[in-house]
């Protein structure tokens, strides 16, 4: 069971206002004192003020002869097959598709598939089994079109569960998944719970009266028909249950979750504190409701993608990778009016490197205000240097806010992309056999995508637990064990302190020392969060930190004031935190500051001074099944081996066979190292756009400052092709050649050419880093120079 605790003073004020409104306008009417006809009219009148997204079309229709409403998001084909069947709540006596549009419209918007809200027959005019018969008829009709996820709230949740049990008993194909919101899963009068103090809608007396209307016909011996909680729940599809603490049916939700798990059914139960019955109906007004709906949509998309057979689809744009650049590209395409796109992500979640890197202590090494897009400041950062989970949540929140999930397919790995110059389209294939056709192909995987394992003899023979920082296994215990960390770069500086706090013995293997500067970190308080919600303050803060980081870039140039200040600060920081002269000497770099990425840390040095931590500077000869042998012949026994050895920034896109004009592959074009025009376009590969491609990494600032202009550049090129009615656009070979010649000439005389780092290939060519300032790069890529591209 997962518990969610809404936070924030604004959220609390909105929730209090909504709770008061429900208690004033709705709860008094949900009473046996009022006729069912009046209750329906009153509820229908209140539903007119619900917030419905404008992007969703709502049209009357039917499924299997059952009337209802069809809700669809946008005007382009869905990126996945399937339908969502929604069964509304209302104690089987009130409610309709119209009363639940604020929720069902957001489900259509967030899943990207059509939603059919069934207007099933209600009691007392149509007692049991009319509702179940209608639900079965609608489901069977929808199932003929493809997979179906069934959702329902309150009585509709109980009905969805009964529907699935009926299908199982009949031997028919069941839904791809069930989403049950505060389900009324047991209608027996003796099991109806008392009304909790926080209940804003329901009362026991009203529920009992409605149950009597619905159960007016002779009782059915099959208990699952009206009280599925008491049924045999084996062999059901995966279930997501959502409920709240301040409602009557909270206990039934917990009991159903426990019963499903006991029956071997995959079940997830989400409980939101301080919320009322079906609070999700307040989507668009209540942040906790929006977040709950986003989780429902994620579950529905996941279930539909899991059961859909491989298929072919056609789109205007295919985006590979749902990291920060992929999210920015999706938002940019929507804003440009290009809505027929799909984003493919091999991982099960959004965030890219911030989804992959969950090692202890993971955080960004630039101030948080700069690690947010200019169009989406984040007032909810908890610290000046945000943690990896916070950044992943920021990326997910952006995807949810802009409804990118509807056009995103997670767990989908792209393996092949081939350009057809006769039609000007890319033909793509996924690992599971899906095929796609698109005019434009965007690779937004970035340079920090492929983990790099060290080439040390015997690595595969190690018999203990082996971890890579980019593929962390949180189930591997560290407490009280002997741990070795290979690497002392930026990643290692973050994970060494938390590991040192747990391990019985920690060996840190260092090849070369790194420059370490203090991290000006602090926790943000309520005043920071309040000010961050003011647009002028947020814009100024982001701009100010950008200027500070740009000033730091001057520290990479000899003879500057910035360099002298950074060198002095690094020396003072090392002297202050490392009192042992021998250890201090071992931690003093022998190469120029800035040649490798600078570490910003307040706890890395102190961790290395702890008595059970050893810094090993002797080279590693080999790894044995039980430990690490250094070149002096000494073997250190190890239980857990941690490789903080970064990513392969040279073999970009090595997992995908990309073929351009004349059958040339990207691997062939990059045989001497990856190169591109501004890191975006590659000669010979039309309609292909890279995000954070070669020579766009930075050693001093946020990559998000580079992503935004790259997205604008790529979309402008797409629009040029679309508006001119042409087939493709590609950078001219001579332009790319001259661009990279000048770039490498500039890099060759820079600080980055003076040591070995992940910026460089073995031969010395620097393929990852942009040598200049941020403003210089932005001016170079925006607007695109028409003369630099050829079209056909």
| Residue positions annotated with a catalytic role | 154
Q: What contacts 741, CB < 8 A, 6 or more positions away? A: none
Measured CA distances, 182 to 1, 169, 202, 244, 246 (Å): 14, 24, 12, 8, 11
> Could you count the other beta carbons within 10 Å of the beta carbon of residue 32?
14
> Could you count the other beta carbons within 10 Å of the beta carbon of residue 57?
14
| Cis check: omega of the bond before 77, within 30 degrees of 0 | no
Q: What is the DSSP string of 47-86?
A: HTTS---TTEEEEEEEETTEEEEEEEESSS--SS--EEEE
Contact 29, 39 (CB under 8 A): yes
Please state, in angstroms and rounded to a whole number, the distance separating the CA atoms of residues 191 and 506. Answer: 56
Closest CA to 421 of 653, 689, 687: 687
> Could you count the other beta carbons within 10 Å of the beta carbon of residue 647?
23
Contact 289, 263 (CB under 8 A): no
Contact 767, 690 (CB under 8 A): no
Contact 647, 471 (CB under 8 A): no
Please state, in angstroms and rounded to a whole number, the distance separating the CA atoms of residues 616 and 607. Answer: 14
Tokens coding 369: 């205000």
Please state, in angstroms and rounded to a whole number, the distance separating the CA atoms of residues 368 and 385. Answer: 5
Distance of CA 178 to the CA centre of its chain: 22
Q: First CA to last CA across the chain, in angstroms? A: 56
- Give the SS3 label for residue 531: helix
**Helices and strands: H and E segment counts in the chain:** 21, 29
Closest CA to 228 of 172, 160, 307: 160
Tokens coding 202: 């329901």
């Amino acid at each position: 069971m997962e518990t969610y605790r809404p936070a924030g003073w604004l959220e609390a004020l909105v929730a209090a206002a909504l709770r008061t409104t429900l208690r004033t306008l709705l709860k008094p009417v949900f009473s046996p004192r009022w006729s069912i006809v009046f209750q329906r009219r009153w509820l229908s009148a209140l539903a007119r003020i619900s917030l419905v997204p404008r992007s969703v079309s709502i049209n009357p229709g039917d499924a299997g002869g059952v009337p209802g409403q069809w809700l669809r998001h946008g005007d382009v084909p869905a990126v996945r097959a399937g339908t969502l069947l929604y069964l509304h709540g209302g104690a089987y006596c009130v409610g309709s598709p119209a009363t639940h549009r604020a929720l069902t419209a957001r489900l259509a918007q967030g899943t990207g598939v059509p939603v059919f809200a069934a207007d099933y027959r209600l009691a007392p005019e149509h007692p049991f089994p009319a509702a179940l018969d209608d639900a079965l008829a609608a489901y069977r009709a929808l199932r003929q079109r493809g997979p179906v996820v069934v959702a329902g709230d309150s009585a509709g949740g109980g009905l969805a569960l009964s529907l699935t049990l009926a299908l199982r008993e009949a031997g028919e194909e069941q839904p791809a998944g069930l989403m049950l919101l505060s389900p009324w899963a047991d209608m027996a009068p003796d099991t109806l719970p008392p009304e909790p103090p926080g209940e804003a809608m329901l009362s026991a007396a009203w529920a009992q009266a409605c149950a009597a209307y619905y159960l007016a016909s002779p009782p059915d011996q099959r208990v699952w028909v009206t009280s599925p909680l008491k049924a045999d729940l084996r062999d059901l599809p995966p279930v997501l249950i959502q409920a709240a603490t301040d409602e009557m049916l909270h206990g039934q939700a917990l009991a159903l979750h426990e019963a499903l798990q006991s029956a071997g059914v995959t079940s997830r139960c989400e409980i939101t504190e301080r919320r009322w019955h079906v609070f999700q109906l307040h989507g668009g007004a209540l942040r906790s409701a929006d977040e709950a709906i986003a989780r429902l949509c994620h579950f529905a998309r996941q279930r539909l993608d899991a059961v859909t057979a491989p298929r072919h689809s056609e789109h205007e744009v295919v985006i590979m990778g749902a990291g920060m650049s992929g999210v920015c590209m999706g938002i940019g395409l929507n804003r440009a009016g290009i809505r027929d796109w799909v984003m493919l992500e091999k991982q099960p979640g959004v965030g890219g490197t911030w989804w992959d890197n969950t090692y202890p202590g993971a955080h960004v090494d630039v101030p948080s205000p700069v690690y947010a897009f200019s169009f989406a400041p984040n007032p909810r950062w908890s610290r000046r240097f945000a943690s990896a989970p916070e950044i992943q949540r920021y990326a997910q929140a952006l995807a949810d806010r802009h409804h990118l999930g509807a056009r995103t397919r997670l767990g989908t790995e792209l393996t092949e992309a081939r350009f057809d110059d006769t039609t000007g389209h890319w033909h793509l294939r996924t690992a599971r056999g899906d095929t796609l056709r698109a005019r434009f192909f965007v690779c937004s995987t970035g340079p920090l995508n492929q983990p790099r394992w060290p080439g040390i003899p015997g690595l595969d023979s190690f018999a203990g637990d082996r971890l890579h920082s980019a593929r962390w296994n949180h189930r591997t215990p560290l407490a009280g064990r002997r741990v070795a960390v290979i690497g002392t770069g930026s990643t290692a500086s973050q994970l060494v302190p938390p590991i040192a706090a747990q391990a019985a013995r920690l060996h840190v293997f260092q090849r070369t020392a790194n420059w370490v500067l203090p991290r000006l970190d602090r926790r943000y308080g309520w005043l920071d969060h309040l000010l961050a919600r003011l647009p002028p303050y947020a814009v100024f803060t982001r701009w100010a930190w950008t200027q500070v980081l740009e000033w730091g870039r001057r520290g990479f140039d000899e003879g500057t004031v910035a360099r002298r200040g950074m060198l002095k600060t690094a020396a003072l920081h090392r002297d202050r935190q490392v009192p042992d002269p021998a250890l201090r000497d071992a931690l003093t770099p022998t190469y120029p500051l800035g040649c490798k990425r600078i570490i910003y840390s307040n706890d890395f040095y102190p961790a290395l001074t702890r008595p059970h931590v050893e810094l090993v500077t002797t080279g590693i000869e080999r790894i044995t099944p039980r430990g690490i042998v250094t070149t002096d012949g000494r073997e250190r026994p190890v239980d857990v081996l941690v490789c903080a050895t970064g990513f392969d920034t040279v073999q970009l896109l090595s997992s995908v066979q990309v073929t351009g004009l004349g059958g040339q592959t990207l691997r062939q074009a990059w045989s001497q190292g990856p190169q591109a025009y501004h890191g975006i376009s590659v000669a010979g590969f039309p309609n292909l756009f890279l995000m954070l491609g070669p020579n766009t990494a930075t050693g001093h600032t946020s990559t998000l400052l580079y992503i935004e202009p790259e997205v604008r550049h790529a979309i402008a090129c797409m629009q040029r092709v679309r508006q001119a009615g042409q087939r493709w656009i590609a950078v001219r070979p001579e332009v790319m050649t001259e661009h990279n010649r000048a770039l490498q000439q500039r890099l060759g005389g820079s600080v980055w050419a003076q040591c070995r780092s992940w910026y460089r290939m073995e031969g010395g060519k620097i393929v990852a880093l942009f040598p200049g300032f941020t403003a210089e790069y932005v001016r170079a890529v925006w607007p695109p120079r028409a003369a630099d591209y050829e079209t056909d």
